[in-house]
Amino acid sequence: MAKPFSSRIFDIIQTTITGKTDNNSPLEDIEDIDPCSGCSDPCSTHPTYPPSLTLRINTSLTLQGTVKPYYKHVLISTGKSDWKSHIEDEEGSFAAQLQKAIKGNNNKEKKVKKDKKNKNKNKSDESSLKKPKILICNSSRKNDNNDPSFSEGNDILLFSDNILVRRVPPNHAVEFYDQFLRGQKTDENDTLSTSQPHVTFKVEPMPYKAVVLICSHMHRDKRCGVTAPLLKDEFDKILKDKGLDVESCADGIAVYMTSHIGGHKFAGNVIVYREKQGIWYGRVTPCHVKSIIENTVIEGKIIKKLYRGSIMNDYVQDESEIELK
């Protein structure tokens, strides 16, 4: 029986994270760590990206501050590593149905807000302010029974709630939105809900100690489509060597490829979710993977050279716009 990861290396690591939405993590959390692990230049040890692709990766812009604020990340298990350019264009998919549910809700919300505004013409409308986004992505994760047809629905990983919602059928996307994405219930929210109250979902704690996501969306941009497989192979290899992969540990570190997360010009793009924190990296190469695992995944340190931004804890408890990736 695999030894739980929690009884291993993470037992000796205590990281205190304060709750906030932060695109620019406190400077004391960012360290000038060499992410290349002593590799030669050019590296002769790790796989390298094709020169034609490397020329299309932006190396002049500052990485820090390039993450758009968001307050939840919905990760849909699909078993694939590439999708249509816009994931909601795949008819009948969970992403497509969720977008329909969101659009339907938004139309009702606009009407409610318009009626409310007409009744309170002299009052300021705080609801018109720009709100943070919900990030919705497909992923290469399979349902636990490895069912390629996903006939019972899609497993959903939800950050920063750190939960796994099992087997959510596309035709229950409205109920999923109402229960997990709408935000705190209010009288106004209740009037907007169109879900069936009897629908319940099987919810479990996040089964992994950490999750690494790599953008692999070839149909959206070739840069991430080419870089992601090389990065995933390196993550899988090093985690297996350390005995920290999900097959070696009951609650180890999971690595999945994901649809567009933003910033293809900074490929390879990687997100590390650990505890209540999401750390975004850009311009990641296979040379950097060992350092990311040892410093960020295990110790919670942020590597300044690769750092795009971070989101912490419950982000913002508010109704949000939706950004499908």
DSSP result, 129-140:
S--PEEEEEEES
pTM: 0.81
Per residue of the chain (325 residues), give pLDDT as tens: 454 544 443 332 323 233 333 444 444 467 777 677 667 666 667 888 888 888 999 999 999 999 988 889 999 999 999 999 999 999 999 999 998 888 876 655 555 555 566 666 655 555 544 555 889 999 999 997 766 778 889 999 999 899 999 999 999 999 999 999 886 444 444 445 555 567 899 999 999 999 999 999 999 999 999 999 999 999 999 999 999 999 998 899 999 999 999 999 999 999 999 998 999 999 999 999 999 999 999 999 999 999 999 887 544 333 334 445 5
Task: For each of the domains in the chain, give its residue range(s) and CATH number, in order of start.
Answer: 5-69+207-312 (3.40.30.10), 71-112+128-205+319-324 (3.40.30)
Query: Helix, strand, coil: what percent of the chain each, to 5?
Result: 30, 20, 45
Residue 280 and residue 307 in contact, taking contact as beta carbons nearer than 8 Å: yes
DSSP designation for 52: H
Residue 225 and residue 81 in contact, taking contact as beta carbons nearer than 8 Å: no
How do residues 230-260 score in pLDDT, each as one tens digit?
Answer: 999 999 999 999 999 999 988 999 999 999 9
> Side-chain half-sphere of 22: how many Cα atoms within 13 Å?
17
Q: CA–CA separation, 253 vs 4, rounded Å?
A: 11
Q: CA–CA separation, 271 vs 47, rounded Å?
A: 20
